């Protein structure tokens, strides 16, 4: 199964108001494993960069002036993503910009149902908790120290790690074992010898100090009979 973890940077929030994509980054996963195949391009938006957007990603007019236009890179982008699912944090935003640019330049659009929204997954899995990319990195113990400003390729690489944690932890071996065919009379099936491997290093605790303290206070109110106080 091929997936592309994707991110964009833009000049603003709405393409219908004249805002444009200025950077696209993508990381390829195959069966939830990174292949080291990536896509990255800076784009000339053909308009000035607003101060607010520059403060987010640091891409200014002088830097982008000699970069290619979206229409010059659109086919290369489409060739890279192919028919893969697109893993995006806040997918509605990026898909809106990508499809506006594709439509405006005469290229086929990407169906919205091909997008996997990690923001929605995080909100469903951790209701009421912060679900920004930085917050999820803190929750899963993922190093994002190089993320001083938003950058499409770096954010895609970080999001790939977050995505694998959201769907069950970075243990792809547990899902990649080939299915065993049904036994047939007279057929001796070989033992493949595959076994799930333990983690080399334990995951860091996902409870915050505040959450742990709140749990201890709750248990204390239940008295000596609380099941949390019993040991097997």
Residue 133 to residue 147: CA distance in whole angstroms: 10
Distance in angstroms between the alpha carbons of the first and the last residue of the chain:
42
Active-site choice (19, 32, 150, 215): 150
150 is catalytic: yes
Q: Under 8 Å CB-to-CB from 158, ≥6 apart: which residues?
A: 133, 137, 142, 144, 147
Residue 56 to residue 132: CA distance in whole angstroms: 14
Catalytic residues, by residue number, are 150
């Amino acid at each position: 199964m091929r997936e592309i973890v994707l991110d964009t940077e833009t000049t603003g929030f709405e393409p219908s108001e004249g805002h444009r994509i200025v950077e696209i980054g993508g990381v390829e996963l195959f069966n939830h494993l990174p292949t080291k195949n990536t896509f990255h391009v800076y784009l000339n938006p053909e308009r000035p960069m607003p101060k607010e957007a520059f403060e987010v990603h640091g891409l200014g007019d002088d830097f982008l002036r000699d970069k290619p236009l979206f229409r010059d890179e659109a086919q290369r982008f489409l060739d890279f993503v192919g028919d893969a699912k697109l893993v995006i944090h806040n997918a509605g935003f990026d898909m809106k910009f990508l499809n506006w640019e594709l439509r405006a330049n005469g290229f086929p659009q990407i169906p919205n149902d091909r997008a996997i929204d990690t923001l929605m997954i995080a909100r469903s899995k951790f209701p009421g908790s912060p679900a920004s990319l930085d917050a999820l990195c803190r929750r899963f113990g993922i190093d994002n120290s190089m993320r001083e400003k938003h950058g499409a390729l770096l954010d895609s690489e970080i999001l790939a790690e977050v995505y694998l944690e959201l769907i069950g932890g970075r243990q792809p071996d547990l899902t990649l074992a080939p299915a065993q065919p049904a036994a047939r009379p007279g057929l001796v099936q070989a033992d493949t010898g595959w076994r799930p491997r333990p983690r080399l290093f334990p995951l860091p605790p996902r409870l915050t100090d505040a959450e742990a303290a709140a749990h201890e206070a709750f248990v204390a109110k239940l008295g000596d009979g609380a099941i949390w106080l019993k040991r097997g």
